């Protein structure tokens, strides 16, 4: 069975500082990994995804994530936080591809940006 662990339900950073949101996964097969962002009362927007190509994945809004098989991690980073980045972030895993089966989500990390 697949699972996702997001360390830290809340992360607070200053505007302009590095953003690091942690995600560890468990999967019995090579996984597909995703990061989604959710703004209040809205659905999910895909930030980026890993599908066994390059281990460093670049996404939208300046975010990127690195797949590390040895650490079973897929941490999300952004060099310089912006106020508009304040939102809920979800890491998700799929074993059959992002479109073929339902995703298993982590519990989410609420990102707070301090001015």
The residue ranges that bind another protein (CB under 8 A) are: 32, 36, 41-46, 49, 51, 90, 97-108
Q: Which is nearer to another protein, 99 or 115 (CB)?
A: 99
Q: Which is nearer to another protein, 5 or 17 (CB)?
A: 5
Nearest distance from C-beta of residue 79 to another protein, angstroms:
25
Nearest distance from C-beta of residue 88 to another protein, angstroms:
9
Q: Which is nearer to another protein, 13 or 103 (CB)?
A: 103
- Residues 52-91 as b or e (16 or more Cβ within 10 Å = b): eeeeebebeeebbbebeeeeebbbbebeebeeebbbbbbb
Nearest distance from C-beta of residue 43 to another protein, angstroms:
4
DSSP structure string for 18-87: PEEEEEEEE-SSPPEEEEEEE-TT--EEEEEEE-SS-SEEE-GGG-EEEEETTTTEEEEEESS--GGG-E
Q: Which is nearer to another protein, 12 or 80 (CB)?
A: 12
Nearest distance from C-beta of residue 16 to another protein, angstroms:
27
Q: Residue 8: which of 83, 80, 75, 108 has the closest Cα?
A: 108
């Amino acid at each position: 069975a697949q699972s996702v662990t997001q360390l830290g339900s809340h992360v607070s950073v200053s505007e302009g500082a590095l953003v690091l949101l942690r995600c560890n996964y468990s999967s019995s097969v090579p996984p597909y990994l995703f990061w989604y962002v959710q703004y209040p009362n809205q659905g999910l927007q895909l930030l980026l995804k890993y599908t066994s190509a390059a281990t460093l994945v670049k996404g939208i809004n300046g975010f990127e994530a690195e797949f590390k098989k040895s650490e079973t991690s897929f941490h999300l980073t952004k060099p310089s936080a912006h106020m508009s980045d304040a939102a809920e972030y979800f890491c998700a895993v799929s074993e059959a591809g992002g479109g073929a089966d339902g995703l298993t989500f982590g519990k989410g990390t609420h990102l707070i940006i301090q001015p």
